[in-house]
Structure 1
Amino acid sequence: MPSTTLSSSATAANMTNANPATNNASGAPLISQSKILTFIGGGNMAEAILGGLIAKGFHPSHLRVSDPVAERCAYMHNRYHVPVFTDNIAALTGRPGASPAGCPAATYPTDQRPTDVVILAVKPQVMHPVMADMGRVLLDTHPLIISIAAGIRVGDLLRWIKDGAPADGRTPTLPHVVRCMPNTPALVGHGASGLYAENSVLDEQKTIAGEIMGAVSRTFWVEREDMIDAVTGVSGSGPAYFFLMLEAMQQGGVEAGLSPKLAAQLAAQTCLGAAHMILNSDESAAELRRKVTSPKGTTEAAVNTMIEGGLKEAVISGVLAADRRSKDLADQLGQQ
């Protein structure tokens, strides 16, 4: 599977020009389809990835979900027919776990096959105790760990795993970690995910991570972990920027005489079309804008007004603010 690596000099602004590492053009079976994948946390993003994997041909019996909320477990099992657990250790080891209401015990794996890939999808604020609780099993089984938790650095994850190591004086061999920043369009199969792999991660493990996240998004590899903060500023938080723009376009359309529904539909379809244009073009956003801006025309009048109003500077400042906040959160969460 091809991969995209951004050089250390690449900026967040040119990430969309990278070639996505999401396609299995050869038609060969995905490496990850033979693996056992366990989701620690069964929230919306975990569900999006799991649903995408099943749509790509992953067998539900290879996908496990662990969540402390029994109702959520029952929902995931009844909708996707995957084994579900309210106990993380049982999920990691494949032992029968406590059966949430509505899930017969027979649906749980009993072969005690340890998980090959762990996808961390819990809230960042509870990551420390969750990792410490699973530490001994993770150190024993060494699965690939993919973290989609915002603001949690690889070093902190590994430190918390070591908190669960037996106190026998030996230096534990740590599992490999890939850190990922997806975004909410993954919920509809059109996400953008930035991925970072520590130096010890094997090429096959990177391929597996790319396949998994590629089920619901285009994937882009970055070379330094701090670039994940820039990914957060551009694509992680980015959907909200476009919702704000669409909100403003809709309001403008209404004030110009359109109905709210029609203005919203026109704005959304225009945004979608513009995205398809740039993803299928070798030209920059600036060049595409120039081509659709006729001198003294309606578009020029609108664009000039927006530029004079500080739109570009406001968006750039917003991206940088999200980048800084991501770093601040990582610092705070790392103090645990």
Structure 2
Amino acid sequence: MTQDLTLALIGGGNMATALATGLIGRRCAAADIHVIDPNEALRERWAEQGSTASAMPDERLSACRVWFFAVKPQVMREVVRQCRPFLRPGTLVISIAAGIPAETIGRWLGEADAPYARLVRCMPNTPALIASGITGMYPMRGVEADDRALAESLLRAVGEVVWVERDEAIDAVTAVSGSGPAYVFLFLEALIEAGVEQGLSPEQARQLALATLHGATQLAALSPDAPSVLRERVTSKGGTTAAALAVFQEADFTGIVGRAVQAAAERAAALARELSGAPE
């Protein structure tokens, strides 16, 4: 355990809870975490586990080595404004606010012509809630090697991490993995419904669909072969799988996925423009 890791969770909801669950006892103690959230019930829950909590930013922020912004993007600017007086030069700032570029957050924390640059922008996804997520991470120029290692260790508490070299690449991360669980859930819904239509009970269809998806993704993760090779191995000429895949191909399944991901990426970029606003 790292005794000197003090962490401020600005926003105490699901993602902050997931992060703390992965960190407490491994990287820090509950008492090393300070939570800021206007929800009284949330604050009480954090206090019960031994963390400190407040409704508004206060001097305790100044003593925290890492600030983790986990608030809705619509309120991010105001929350950053409230926290800014307590920022110190050595503070590492990590943001998971969707749609807000790192440069914009840096301006809000610093000045228009001198953004705060010790900042990492992240895009996790909801499987982080069971420590099976993946997070895309972009470091601003002020993030040193030690900061980068620390940020990575924090997000690895809830899953895997992927570093990108451009802020704009987080839009692609959002489209592939941030929104990706919804695509998987949609496919699961359809597969379960199709199983029921073929005479299975809802429970049977659900069990078969979930186990098949889990097993297939695990096989793809552990195999040295590309997914295309694995698909070909399941597909016998003139067989049942070939008949099903022909329907997908006729409907341009690959194109549909590509267009869906592009639409998500374009929306992420549009949100960045909408939420950034003019520099203060």
TM class by smaller structure: over 0.9
SS at match of 1:126: helix
| Deviation, structure 1 residue 148 | 0.6
TM-score by length of 1: 0.79
Q: May I ask how many residue pairs the two structures share in their alignment?
A: 278
Gaps of 5+ in 2: none
Mapped contact 1:132–1:162 kept (Cα < 8 A): no
Pairing partner for 2:22 from 52, 58, 61:
52
User: What's the % identity of the aligned pairs?
Assistant: 40
Q: Where does residue 155 of structure 1 map in the other structure?
A: 103
Q: For residue 163 of structure 2, give the secondary structure of its aligned residue in structure 1.
A: strand
Matched, 1:132 2:101: no
Deviation at 1:135, TM superposition (A): 1.4
**Aligned counterparts of 1:126 and 1:209: Cα–Cα separation in 2:** 23
**What RMSD over aligned residues (CA atoms) do the two structures have, in Å?**
1.8
Please, which of 67, 83, 88 is the counterpart of residue 118 of structure 1?
67
Letter in 2 for 1:75: R
Which secondary structure does the structure 1 equivalent of 2:155 belong to?
A: helix
Say which SS state the counterpart of residue 34 (structure 1) adopts: coil
Residue of structure 1 equivalent to 2:51:
82
Unaligned 5+ segments in structure 1 are 1-28, 94-113, 166-170
2:148 counterpart letter in structure 1: K
Aligned counterpart for 1:329 among listed residues 267, 271, 279: 271
1:1-336 to 2 correspondence within 5 Å?
34-54=4-24, 56-78=26-48, 80-93=49-62, 114-138=63-87, 140-162=88-110, 174=116, 176-335=118-277
Looking at structure 1, the residues matched to 69 and 211 of structure 2 have their Cα atoms a distance apart, in angstroms, of: 34
Does the 8 Å contact 1:40/1:122 carry over to 2?
yes
- The answer to whether the Cα contact below 8 Å between 2:136 and 2:161 also exists between their aligned partners in 1 is yes
Deviations 1:179-215 (A, max 9, x none): 0000000001100110010122101101001100000
Q: What's the secondary structure of 1:65's corresponding residue? A: strand
- Measure how far apart 1:134 and its partner are: 1.5
| Amino acid in structure 2 at the alignment position of 1:274 | A
Give, as a single letter, the amino acid of the residue that structure 2 aligns with 1:194. G
SS at match of 1:193: strand
Q: Deviations over 1:262-311 (max 9, x none)?
A: 11121111111111111112222212111211211111111111121222
Letter in 2 for 1:133: Q
What is the CA distance between 1:142 and its match in structure 2?
Answer: 3.4
Q: Is the 8 A contact 1:66 1:91 kept in 2?
A: no
User: Which residue identity lines up with residue 261 of structure 2 in the other structure?
Assistant: V
- 1:81, distance to aligned residue in structure 2 (A): 2.3
Measure, in 2, the Cα distance between the counterparts of 1:313 and 1:221. Answer: 27
Q: Could you tell which deviates more after superposition, 234-243 or 148-157?
A: 148-157
Letter in 2 for 1:150: A
Deviates more, 1:282-291 or 1:65-74: 282-291
Change (3 A) 1:223 1:328: same
